[in-house]
Structure 1
Amino acid sequence: MMFVWQGLCLVLIALTVAGCLFQVASAALVRRFRRAPEPVPAARPPISVMKPLCGAEHGMAANLDSCLRQDYPRFQLVFGVADPADPALDVVKALPGDVEGAEIDWVADSARHGHNLKVGNLLNMWPKVRHDVIAIADSDIRVGPHYLDDLAAPFDDPKVGIVTCLYVGRPEPDLWSSLGAMGINHGFLPGAVLARAIGRKDGCFGATMAVRREVLEKGGGLAALSQVLADDWVLGRMVRDQGLEIVLAARPVDMNVHEPSLKTLLDHEIRWGRTIAAVDRTSYMASVITQPVALAALAVLAGGAWWPSVAALALAVLCRLWAVRVEERALGLPRCGLGLLGMREILSFVVYVVACCGRTVVWRGRRFAVRADGTLDQVEGSQT
């Protein structure tokens, strides 16, 4: 039996070393990404930005206003809500209507189009969209004045089908929001940059996705996304099936992170995890190597504090701390405390394990089962 435990310990140590290499490489790539020059578009075509809304989220007024304050000659913002009494509509109506080059339209329509409520909202907004370059952007992002230039620049290359944005979590000043932002800044973002560096070009992120109208319509339009959870991934696949590329915008956007409780944080992160697992379970299972501290801690338990496992744990802690500090400097983030980082490590592993073990998600008060093809089935009686 001792040989079995030592064998397991050696496997965990090997995975820990791989995880340490991942941490070092991804942090270095985040630093390189942020130092890369921002391209200037040769053409600046009119852009329609679609913003599906649901409720007046924290910071929404500033988020929407930042999208309006663009150094861009001509663009349209289209907002959509399902309920005419939604307080988000009051925020939209309070936006200034005299910004040069900007047009504002909004839609309030409760018509349903499949289980994906965000896509249903977008379908209701579609008749208002006027321009041939279309961006779909989340309501919780805040952008700089060159946001639309960053979206337009890659379209100078006709092989580009979608331009998408990475995002940096900017938390509300509370514990759960801070932990949520750390999961984005020291988990999602470095992993996404490394994935592209090793050749995976299928990452398409819902914070912002810009696409040409003809490409979207050729792929089946928004209706093709109405039954799936991972609408961003499916949109990216739609474009890749046409032989076109997904390109990252030069600058990430900021995402306002507001998690009022541990439950909301877990619901969000488990939903994200199961979304990824639904479309690529093998890769999601393999992503355990992104958590070397947890792997090394398991090695210590399996090996009874055998000295190689203790050394692996020390190495994992040092590599993880170094990577976090590099990412903080590259992204302009405040330094997180060691206690907070420890909590984030535990939470990340818990979310990973739970996401691997089920197919149900909670989304806007409803519980859905995610099929193997990524489509959704609402669980009976789950609406709140």
Structure 2
Amino acid sequence: MAAHALTACQWVLLGGCVGASLYALLAAVAMPFYASRRHVAGSPAQGASRNAHPVYPFKHVGVSVLKPLCGAEPRLYENLRTFCEQRHGYFQLVLGVSSPDDPAIAVVRRLQAAYPLHDIELAIDTRVHGSNLKVSNLINMAERARHEVIVIADSDIAVEDHYLDSVAAPLADPRVGVVTCLYVAQGVGGFWPRVGALFINEWFAPSVRVAHAAGSRSFGFGATLALRRATLERIGGFEVLKNCLADDYWLAEHVRALGLQTVLSRVIVATDVIEPTFSALWQRETRWLRTIRSVNPLGFAFLFITFPTPWLLTGAWLTASLAANTSHAAHVWAELTCATSTTIGLAARLLLHWRSARHGRTFWRDLPLVPLRDALLALQWLAGAFGSHVVWRGARVPVETSTSRAARGGAMNVMDVAEASDGR
């Protein structure tokens, strides 16, 4: 009847099942309903009181929006248009490419023709400044930015018309250094993009919200990074990021090193998932996980607790196994604990899926994908634990060296350029 009647393996599995169910419950509670994600302009940053930061809309402060482009994505024009429909009174769009043959150029020309009164500048610059070709593009684009507030946003982001007012507002507080946004994903073009959207909506975003609720501010997302020009200059400009894999994270981290705060805005932008095949999706999501490993190895090691379905299956199996032997009180107690945690975990996973769904039809349509999504995440986590490179936009970027280079701001040699440009 002693507790040692359970084997060490059973104790470990029981602990994992309980931990995964508790995490699933926290994630489900932390996520807002999809319908409630539209932010009202001028609201305060999430997690702060209404008096924590001045939130006047910065109508008379100029904003330069930098958007590095690479290729003509399926909805590039539609996404860029949303940045032209801003209520903000004084802003500039700088759209940059690194090749005069980039198909995105035609999209930008179309945008300029559609909005002739807007300040839309196309930067075509082939200079390469480091192993991170996105940052290299940003370095070239930054020379054309004219305004006091700098906003960096990925090419596949769509926003509402209050976006610039809302993300710039917290910067009125001198204690705030950088503002960043979470995002909601929509699959564009078939089955695998739908699976990829679940990666963001039902794993990545809940993970961030749980960490944020626990007090963490160690993040920065390419969906939006807003900061004052003076702050960017104080950290050394984009040049300090030219050899970093996780440039979004390191930009915010350099700002935090100045003693300034990171604000997670209530604004939630939209992003497209367009990977049409399993291999393309695997490559993208494994890159994300290796990036997490590069900046937070300990956090990456514990990600296994955030994949509910494998643990729910383990919990069901363990419950049945313990039920077969009730001769010890420890088995009875463990069976009850495991069954309870598995039930809670299942309910929490369904609740998370419900809160992430856009409407009832989406909930039922994607429900069969949930076990696949969780199982795929577990396999990608294992794959992400290995490998010294990731592929981004056709370029191979080193993983391990990116962190050490970011820490020391080191130079890059010719071999690094060749390696990073391989397949470009």
Q: Does 1:171 align with 2:190?
A: no
Name the counterpart of 1:243.
Answer: 259
Could you tell which deviates more after superposition, 273-282 or 10-19?
10-19
Name the counterpart of 1:278.
Answer: 294
Within a 5 Å distance, the mapping from 1:1-384 to structure 2 comes to 6-31=7-32, 34=37, 38-39=41-42, 41-42=55-56, 43-44=58-59, 45-96=61-112, 99=115, 102-298=118-314, 305-307=321-323, 308=335, 312-328=341-357, 334-335=362-363, 336-371=365-400, 374=403, 375=405, 379=419, 382-383=422-423
Q: For 1:280 and 1:334, how far apart are their aligned partners in 2?
A: 33
C-alpha displacement at 1:311, in angstroms? 6.0
C-alpha displacement at 1:366, in angstroms? 3.0
**1:12–1:37 distance in 2 versus 1, CA, 3 Å:** farther
Contact 1:47–1:131 (CA under 8 A) maintained in structure 2:
yes
Contact 1:22–1:290 (CA under 8 A) maintained in structure 2:
yes
Aligned length: 381
Q: For 2:397 and 2:322, how far apart are their aligned partners in 1?
A: 44
Q: For 2:201 and 2:392, how far apart are their aligned partners in 1?
A: 22
Q: For 1:153 and 1:139, how far apart are their aligned partners in 2?
A: 22
Q: For 1:221 and 1:380, how far apart are their aligned partners in 2?
A: 21
Cα RMSD between the aligned structures? 2.6
Higher-Rg member (1/2): 2
The residue type paired with residue 343 of structure 1 is: L
Q: For 2:262 and 2:360, how far apart are their aligned partners in 1?
A: 26
Q: For 1:78 and 1:107, how far apart are their aligned partners in 2?
A: 7
C-alpha displacement at 1:346, in angstroms? 1.1
C-alpha displacement at 1:100, in angstroms? 8.8
Give the TM-score normalised by the residue count of structure 1: 0.91
Q: For 1:102 and 1:80, how far apart are their aligned partners in 2?
A: 16
CA-to-aligned-CA distance 1:124-155 (integer Å, 9 cap, x gap)? 11111100100111000111111101111111
CA-to-aligned-CA distance 1:304-351 (integer Å, 9 cap, x gap)? 84443566544433321122112326x999214332111111111111
Q: For 1:129 and 1:261, how far apart are their aligned partners in 2?
A: 37
Contact 1:9–1:299 (CA under 8 A) maintained in structure 2:
no
Q: For 1:10 and 1:226, how far apart are their aligned partners in 2?
A: 46
The residue type paired with residue 14 of structure 1 is: G
Q: Percent identity?
A: 36
Q: For 1:172 and 1:36, how far apart are their aligned partners in 2?
A: 24
Contact 1:170–1:254 (CA under 8 A) maintained in structure 2:
yes
**1:56–1:130 distance in 2 versus 1, CA, 3 Å:** same
The residue type paired with residue 290 of structure 2 is: R
**1:95–1:356 distance in 2 versus 1, CA, 3 Å:** same
Q: 3-state DSSP class of the match of 1:162?
A: strand
**1:53–1:35 distance in 2 versus 1, CA, 3 Å:** closer
Contact 2:24–2:345 (CA under 8 A) maintained in structure 1:
no
Contact 2:41–2:162 (CA under 8 A) maintained in structure 1:
no
**1:66–1:116 distance in 2 versus 1, CA, 3 Å:** same
Q: Which runs of 5+ in 2 are unaligned?
A: 44-54, 324-334, 406-411
Q: For 1:156 and 1:148, how far apart are their aligned partners in 2?
A: 13
The residue type paired with residue 247 of structure 2 is: D
Q: Which runs of 5+ in 1 are unaligned?
A: none
